[in-house]
Amino acid sequence: WRWHHVPRRRGPEPRAVAARGTHRAAASLAAADAAANERESPGKVKKEMDACFDVVERMGRGAVYLGSARVPEDHPHFAMARDLARDVATAYDCTTWSGLGAGMMEAVTRGGMEAGKPVAGFMILLEAGGQRQASRTHPYLPPEVYHTASFFSARKHGLVDAGIRANKTDRTAFFALPGGVGTLDEIFEVLALLQLRRIGSAHKVPFVVMNYDGCFDGLIKFLEDDMVRYGSLRDKELEPHWVVCDDNAAAMKYLETFYADEN
């Protein structure tokens, strides 16, 4: 056998080791900074929630409307929503609340103003071209009657708080108007809070689904038939929490009965 000398592998130069250590430390610090920035969001959400609560305190609770921003002004449902908001504000001397956007939100804003009652709400910063808006203001309402939120969670807290009843004399309600995914998100948020008794209201709050021209028929069937058959809902489980009305007259009659029976 002939032994061969195997040269010993040289380790990295101390300077290279130090450089790699510096890069790792810098990367760790950058990651820590990013994590810290992400963890700042709870504080930012709380700040926005407090701002929303301040608006509610300033403007007074009332009727909260959840609806699509895409319904054009010449659509029949736009006029129906405007008339509903006007009639509710007039009958119950309450503030009209919404997301203060276009479509159904604009309709109820006009209705509340036609009644000569306060109008308020919570706008949301939108995404445009992959970047969130830096600011957003309402085209004609004064800034003291609304707050523009960056976080949907804060906006939802504000809308829910605007509809609860702290006192028995409070006249509030939630209205589900026709809408898409965002509206359905808000509808189920309120419905879940009512179902789980987590709405935070000292007194029962009416929740009215405005089933204009049967636009919610499919959703109601899904919940009352399909989900009951599947077993995720009991028969008539949702009945105590909301009422479905086909038109404004039925909604106004329901509110009248709701508050008369309570008294």
pLDDT at 42: 86
210 Cβ contact list (under 8 Å, min separation 6): 80, 81, 84, 175, 176, 177, 178, 245, 248, 251
> Residue 169's pLDDT is what?
95
d(CA 147, CA 162): 13
The strand order across the sheet containing 119-124 reads 146-149, 119-124, 95-98, 62-66, 173-176, 207-210, 243-245
Per-residue pLDDT tens digits for 34-71:
555 556 688 999 999 999 999 999 999 999 999 999 99
Q: What are phi and psi of 11, to 5 degrees?
A: -75, 175
Q: What is the pLDDT of residue 213?
A: 98
Strands 62-66 and 173-176: parallel
pLDDT for 134 equals: 67
Amino acid identity for residue 202 in this structure: A
How many Å apart are CA 55 and CA 6, to the nearest integer?
79
Please report the pLDDT score of residue 263 as a whole number.
74
* pTM for this model (two decimals): 0.84
Contact 89, 30 (CB under 8 A): no
CA dist 208 and 250 (Å) reads 10
> What does each C-alpha distance from 190 to 31, 39, 44, 57, 207 come to in angstroms?
37, 27, 23, 20, 8
- Where the chain has pLDDT below 70, the residues are 1-40, 127-134
